[in-house]
Amino acid sequence: MKKNILLTLLILIMVVGLAACKKEPEPVEPVPPAPDVEEPVEEANEDEKEVIMEAFNTLIEGEKKPEELISYINDNIKKLSSLEGDRMIDELEKTLENNIEDLTNLIFATDKGDELMAIAGTETFFPENKVEEIKDEDLKKEIQKTFDNMYKLINLEGEFYPIIDYAKLKTYEDKLSDEWKSYLDIMAMDSEKRPFADGGMTITFEELAERILETERHLNTYIDGPRQKELLSLYESKLTAYMKGLPNTPIADYSNKQIFDQVLESYEKTSNNEGYITAHTLYQYVEVIKSNKSIVNNSVLKKADELITEAVRMLTEYK
């Protein structure tokens, strides 16, 4: 009997001891909710695409506003192929461009107290996050609408002017062809960091050369593209600034007309890019400059004009 009682007590002691040795359960960290993932939109069938594009054609034939076009594109472009996507962005860019003059006049008329310059007069671009600082409610509304409509504001000679924000247009590139992606890349470089302002360069000669080469690559890759004429004009203006300089960014010393070393080095570097008309043009130009003892006078600048004209001709004709 005593043995039975002793055995029972031992069992109870073991059970209590084991229970005491058990670790408290670790607190379970709450699992954060999964982020919202945008479901992929299934591409519409051909009949549905036709209906979407018919409505789009009706929209652009009327007195269209940028916000109406953007809203329709946002609602429908994900259902389409790059063929229709290209068409939509083609029309959107034209609409934004055609609206710039009216938008400029509207902003100037609304900004009666020069609030924009007071808020961000030292900035190259008006920061979108500073729209809330605008006190005039009418002006605030127009500036926010300007940003929403895929423009940005650039500071030129003491005023903010609207330009197309090509970085925002690039948000559609999943539904665009490689040609339009390339075009938007070229245009976005300039809308993000303008190459020229107030009679001078705002980028280095090396950066300008790379943009010229990038434009030539596009022109030679997409021979019959929808923006060939515009890009040729862009190419010519950049090549002219690169080879002849600008009033506030000369390529040579004003006093002795000696070309700056860094400019000549940039020309030589650019001339080493094989297979480019630009490179061949710069090779010839370097030879002209060196044969003139590195003096950039009127005869050298005249030769620059001839070489630029020839470069544009070759890009235009040799397709």
Query: 146-156 pLDDT, tens per residue?
Result: 999 999 999 99
What is the rounded CA–CA span in Å between residue 315 and residue 74?
36
Identify the pLDDT of residue 226.
Answer: 86
Nearest alpha-carbon partner for 116 in 153, 163, 149: 153
Give the confidence band of 317 by pLDDT, cuts at 50, 70, 90: confident
* Residue 78 CA neighbour count, 13 Å, CB half: 9
Strand, helix or coil at 158? coil
C-alpha 147/C-alpha 154 separation (Å) is: 12
**Has residue 186 got a pLDDT over 70?**
yes
Concatenating the DSSP letter of every residue in 208-247 gives HHHHHHHHHHHHHHSTT-TTHHHHHHHHHHHHHHHHH-BT
Please report the pLDDT score of residue 16 as a whole number. 37
Length of the chain: 319
**pTM attached to this predicted model:** 0.84
Q: Pick the range with the lowest mean pLDDT from 65-74, 218-227, 235-244.
A: 218-227
Of the given ranges (32-46, 185-199, 290-304), which has the lowest mean pLDDT? 32-46
CA 241/CA 236 separation, integer angstroms? 9
pLDDT at residue 271 above 50? yes
What value does the mean pLDDT of the chain take? 89
> Structure tokens of 77?
């472009």
- Provide the pLDDT for residue 8: 40
Residue 225, number of CB atoms within 10 A of its CB: 17
Backbone dihedral region of 32: left (phi > 0), alpha (psi from -120 to 50 degrees) or beta? beta
Q: Quote the percentage of the chain above a pLDDT of 90.
A: 82
pLDDT of residue 174: 95
Q: What is the pLDDT of residue 2?
A: 39
Q: Does residue 33 sit in helix, strand or coil?
A: coil
Tell me: the pLDDT tens digits for 140-184? 999 999 999 999 999 998 999 999 999 999 999 999 999 999 999
pLDDT score of 22 more than 70: no
Q: Using pLDDT thresholds of 50, 70 and 90, give the confidence band for residue 44.
A: confident
pLDDT at 196: 94
